[in-house]
Each structure stands twice: as structure tokens, then as C-alpha cells.
Amino acid sequence: MVRINVHRFLYACILIICNLTHSIIRLIQRHTERLINGWNKKYRSVKIVHRSENFLVVDKPYDMYINSNNPDRKNTLQLELRKMLPDLVNPKLRHEFYFVHRLDYPTSGIICIALNKKAARAASSAFENKKVQKFYLALVHGHIRKPHIIIDKPIGDDVREKNGNHKMCTSESIFCEKPRNSYTVLIVLEHGFWKNKPATKILLAPGTGDYTYSDGKDIQPHRTYLHSLRLILNCDIENIDVRTIDPFNAPILSDYKVTNVIKILNENIFHDISKYME
């Protein structure tokens, strides 16, 4: 009969289990890294939504500048477009492209670029003559109980903001400078929870994670949940109507859980908004 040293046997078993556990952890880590890299490549890249002879429309990732005068700032849409579409670069322009409107650094979504001087003039004229409609998605703190809200208050620059952030306030504030008429329709889409905290998905409003408008207290979300969803631009040379997917759904935004759908985001809701805007 072969004698077995129990202690050595148990020690060998423990070593085998430890090695297997370590191997499994390494496999999980590698798989997770591949998933994260794939996610970043898919969801953090600039996507072309529309391209014609006159216009290029792209879906900008969040936390990306449009352009910059700082040569050390590499995270710009201008540089990404230069890499993606070098044939469209116009060396005569300071920032190489005709950016006919802008999105803030933290805001993701639709942005339109004119591809020639004529298109740039036509688009600028459309913006000036209010022939452009822009729709935004956002996540905001708390559960908004009203199905829709109309915000009809002049807004202007907050003179207290001196550190470079573009912060605005309503004309009711004594710190409001050069207020301009503003009319916004807010439609409630969903109630849910972001990391177990009440949140509401809305159409046409700034949202949760907006550091600029929370006095610096809202620092937990890794981004501002504001997205330029749709752009309708009617001008003399071309009519554009483009939209992106909703970025605040799983698997893109896994921390947000929907508990109640108030309105479905489809074409009907845009018709509803048009009625309120009349």
C-alpha cells in the first residue's frame, strides 16, 4: 500500500487551486480589457452620420474640444477629422474646417461642418434666421413629475464665473449679464436610477453630471449626461435631418436603470415638441 503524506498532498492541491485561480483571473482581466478597449473604440470615436458635397455631420464623443489655439491640446474634433478625412482639410482656414456651430467640451452628439465657403454661408444664414432645430437628450437628478415643462425665461452670462467656464443664469439673478430671450420645451421620457439615485431622462435640457451648474458639488458622474441627438437644418443649398442613437441606454450606459417609460422616443414626440414651439 502506498502511503500518502496528507500535508504534502493538501499543499499540492492548494498550489494547483491557486495557480488555476490566478490563471482564471488573468483570463478575466484580459477579456475585460478587450471589452473596454472595444467599447472605447466603438463609443468614444468620431462617427460620420452624414456626408454630402456641402456638409459633413458627425457624432462627437463627450469630453472632446471642437478645436483649440493651444498646440498642446490634442483632444479636439479638428485633429480627429484631420486624421480621418485628410482630403477635406482646408489649410487656408485657421482651424482647417468650417465649424458652423459648436458643442461644449463635455457635450456629445451631432455637429455639422460645412465643406465649402458657400455651404458655410448658407448654414450660418439658416442659424441666424432660425431655420435650424436642435434636440438634446439629458439625464437630470431626481424624478420630474410633470410630463412636460416649458421654460420661457431670458438667460445670460453669469458674471461671477471668472475661471474660464461658460456658466449662464436666468435674468432673475443680479449676476446675469446681457440676458437674451430663451424658450425651451422639456419632455420627460423616462424615470430611473443612476447608481441607485433617482434620475430622469429628458428631451431638450442640460443634465446630471453638469459640473458647471452644480456649484462644483456634482463630481461623481464621469461625464456630463448631455447629448445632441438630432439636427434639422434647412438652407438654400441642402436640407439636413440627422440623428444619432440614444447613448443613455444599456450597454452604453450600464449605471442607468429604467423603472418607468413615460414617452417613447420616436417621431411622434418630435411632432409634440413642434406644437409646443408654435
- Extended strands (E) in 96-196: 98-99, 108-114, 132-141, 148-152, 155-158, 168-170, 176-180, 183-194
State the virtual CA torsion across 111, 84, 98, 178 in degrees, nearest 10.
Answer: 40
Query: Quick one: DSSP state of residue 245?
Result: -
Per-residue DSSP letters for 123-135? HHHHHHTT-EEEE
- List the one residue out of 35, 39, 18, 103 whose CA is nearest residue 66: 103
**Alpha carbon distance 217, 86 (integer Å):** 41
Of 63, 104, 218, 246, the active-site residue reads 104
| Of 102, 196, 187, 184, residue with least CA distance to 137 | 187
Identify the three-state secondary structure at position 147: coil
- Other C-beta atoms closer than 10 Å to the C-beta of 58 total 23
Q: Is 104 designated active site?
A: yes
* Residues designated catalytic: 104
